[in-house]
Amino acid sequence: MGRVAYTAMSSQQLDVLIVGAGFGGIGTAIQLKKLGYENLLIVDREDDLGGTWHVNRYPGLACDVPSNTYSYRFEPYPYWSRLYAPGAEIKQYAEYVADKYDVRRHMRFGISVTGACWNEDAERWEVALADGGTLTTRFLIAATGVLSQPYYPDIPGIDQFAGRIIHTTAWDDDYGMGGRRVALIGTGATAVQLIPELAKNVAELTVYQRTPIHVLPKSDFAVPGFVRRAFARLPMAQRVMRSMTDATYEVGFVLAVLKYQRFWWVNSLAERTSQLLRFMSIRDKKLRRQLTPAYTLGCKRPTFSNTYYSTFAKSNVALQTSGIDRIEPDGIVARDGTKASIDTLVLATGFDMWEKNIPAIEIIGRDGVNLGKLWRSNGFRAYEGMATPGFPNLLNLNSAYAVSLNFFDMIDYQMRHMERLFAEVRRRHATRFEPTEEATDRFCARFGDLQRNTVFYLGECANSRSYYFAPDGETYVRATSTRDSVLSQSQFPLSDYALSGSDIVSV
Ligand code: NAP
């Protein structure tokens, strides 16, 4: 869909504007269309749908959550080629769902939202676009994602580098890596997938590690054709499979993260497993030590790979752990004085999870209050991880206490929340909703308390440099089981929202 079609729609008064055409935006549109909202627009700054799975295309990209679990509960996909599907397949899944539920025709691409301002008189959001245009909408849903603002490190000299710099979110398929001298900064989940692939082609690869990461074995396998055909014919069979992968994943999260105080030995066991993997992959003791994290497994997101550690034993791969002093036009100088001469710099430096992302756009609510500034001065408060007092008719899907272990579980329970909220809005002919201060306080107090039992507070996390910790030092992970989240999102008291409108039906 092009700009012409968008311009035609921009004069409309929208009922719903969804910012982001990733899985969050697609799920939101499906839910709201089900409730009868058809005057709905989804905008995305990229040129296609799929969010992170459209943007990320680096070699080795795959999901490290089993694909049966990493998919909408209401739309199982029988065609996954592996237990952990490659990234391109997940993007195909996004397209499949968008087409099946007829949401693609609501999407417009290449549109960047810069801000939104609540108009109290009109009871609408006025939304500013980067090209100078505006949109107005009754309801605004920010489905801008968790991993959507690439982080570019501010390293002395980086602007003077004469070679090619590639961030992993902007992979250039036409740039051949074969025979190149490459430096890669970062050792997060992205680097763990990319490093073994890069090492196959490049002449030299120097990896700059600041904080080692716990890597666990990945028991991946191709799904045989007959199993896929069986899943297509017998969806129940796939649901059984999903319940197993869900349960494994959930048990790990509940024991190792939420109930760390009692089950700390689960984390220790996993650390031992990672240690064993290092031992079996690398003979060099010093190298093993350098790759060994000095924080409890779980403080930072662990990763899964059978080839990451062994890649460091290759002759064309070097690990640099002394830190980066500066970047020169033809290389990187480390703090220990050694210089790696390179022609390509890969930034596997991840995402800005907080400063530019919560919220991802400037949002000005009632009485001119700026949401980002409010959260930074008063704490990241939100009701059920989605709505904030003072910001009527707004759901920000990436708010405090929204995110749990599995992104798709989060979408699932957020869709249930929308179902309950918007059904009530419709039933009572409301034109406005806003969570109450009391409900938000109660919710945040409960989840603030739950944090205290997690590995984030009881484990040794000081050296982890984990993005789970906000700039205020707190964590805002949704620290309950998925079952608890589903129940609370689908049964929250409707009185937790104040609804209003000129034709409102009284309760
Ligand atoms: P990340 O986990 O934030 O890792 C970024 C890396 O860059 C870290 O090792 C960080 O070091 C390093 N770094 C940043 N600035 C640096 C600097 N100035 N100097 C040296 N090192 C620097 O980002 P990511 O690897 O892209 O992963 C982000 C998230 O994406 C993951 O946690 C995961 O949730 C998701 N992901 C998922 C999959 C999947 O299969 N489902 C795959 C890839 C990514 P420090 O640790 O010291 O800060």
Q: Beta-carbon neighbour count of residue 124 at 10 Å? A: 23
Q: Which whole number is the average pLDDT over 66-95?
A: 96
In terms of Cα–Cα distance, which of 411, 397, 357, 401 is closest to 381? 401
The CB of 210 under 6 Å from ligand 1? The reply is yes
pLDDT at residue 5 is higher than 80: no
The structure tokens listed for 476 are 């805002």
- Listed in sequence order, the residues at least 6 apart from 294 whose beta carbon sits closer than 8 Å to its beta carbon are 212, 460, 463
Q: Which whole number is the average pLDDT over 140-162?
A: 97
Q: Which whole number is the average pLDDT over 296-300?
A: 97
**Contact by Cβ (8 Å): 66, 83:** yes
Question: What sign has the CA pseudo-torsion 497, 500, 504, 507?
Answer: positive
The CB of 146 under 6 Å from ligand 1? The reply is no
Phi/psi region, residue 410 (left: phi>0; alpha: psi -120 to 50; beta: rest), is alpha
The CB of 140 under 6 Å from ligand 1? The reply is no
Site of tokens 């707190």: 474
Q: How far apart are CA 347 and CA 352, in angstroms?
A: 13
**Could you tell me whether strands 331-334 and 339-341 are parallel, antiparallel, or unpaired per DSSP bridges?**
antiparallel
How many angstroms does the Cα of residue 211 sit away from the middle of ligand 1?
10
Q: Which whole number is the average pLDDT over 314-332?
A: 98
Give the confidence band of 500 by pLDDT, cuts at 50, 70, 90: very high
pLDDT by residue (tens digit) across 475-488? 999 999 999 999 99
What secondary structure does DSSP assign to 73-126, as a single string? TTS--TT-SBSS-BHHHHHHHHHHHHHHTT-GGGEEES--EEEEEEETTTTEEE
Taking the CA of residue 123 as centre, how many other CA atoms within 13 Å lie in the half-sphere pointing to its CB? 11
Give the confidence band of 11 by pLDDT, cuts at 50, 70, 90: low
pLDDT at residue 507 is higher than 90: no
The CB of 349 under 6 Å from ligand 1? The reply is yes
What single DSSP character describes residue 471? T
The CB of 211 under 6 Å from ligand 1? The reply is yes
- Listed in sequence order, the residues at least 6 apart from 235 whose beta carbon sits closer than 8 Å to its beta carbon are 76, 78
pLDDT by residue (tens digit) across 238-277? 999 999 999 998 999 999 999 999 999 999 999 999 999 9
In terms of Cα–Cα distance, which of 224, 191, 193, 196 is closest to 209? 191
- State how far the alpha carbon of 270 is from the alpha carbons of 23, 210, 399, in Å: 30, 22, 30
Question: Rounded to 5 degrees, what angle do the CA atoms 168, 169, 172 make?
Answer: 75
The structure tokens listed for 375 are 């959260």
The CB of 145 under 6 Å from ligand 1? The reply is no
In terms of Cα–Cα distance, which of 204, 213, 347 is closest to 290? 213
- Listed in sequence order, the residues at least 6 apart from 138 whose beta carbon sits closer than 8 Å to its beta carbon are 13, 14, 15, 16, 123, 124, 125, 393, 431
CA-nearest residue, atom 29 of ligand 1:
189
The CB of 312 under 6 Å from ligand 1? The reply is no
Mean pLDDT of the chain: 95
Amino acid identity of residue 290, one-letter, is: Q
- Ligand 1 atom closest to 301 (CA): 32
The structure tokens listed for 263 are 């089950």
The CB of 63 under 6 Å from ligand 1? The reply is yes
**Contact by Cβ (8 Å): 211, 294:** no
pLDDT by residue (tens digit) across 54-63? 999 999 999 9
The CB of 187 under 6 Å from ligand 1? The reply is yes
User: What residues pair up with 327 in beta bridges, in sequence order?
Assistant: 332
Q: Which whole number is the average pLDDT over 290-319?
A: 97
CA-nearest residue, atom 41 of ligand 1:
63
**Contact by Cβ (8 Å): 157, 150:** no
Q: Which whole number is the average pLDDT over 288-301?
A: 97
State which of 184, 210, 410 you would mutate to test the pocket of ligand 1, scoring each by most atoms of that ligand within 8 A of its C-beta.
210
**Contact by Cβ (8 Å): 364, 117:** yes
In terms of Cα–Cα distance, which of 407, 399, 350, 364 is closest to 379? 399
Q: Which residue has the higher pLDDT, 10 or 442?
A: 442
Q: How far apart are CA 94 and CA 286, in angstroms?
A: 44
pLDDT by residue (tens digit) across 448-469? 999 999 999 999 999 999 999 9
Percent of the chain residues topping a pLDDT of 70: 98
Per-residue pLDDT, 373 = 97
Q: How far apart are CA 478 and CA 399, in angstroms?
A: 10
Site of tokens 């995110």: 403
In terms of Cα–Cα distance, which of 355, 281, 342 is closest to 311? 281
pLDDT at residue 149 is higher than 70: yes
**Could you tell me whether strands 432-435 and 215-216 are parallel, antiparallel, or unpaired per DSSP bridges?**
unpaired
Give the containing element (helix H, strand E) for 346: strand 344-347
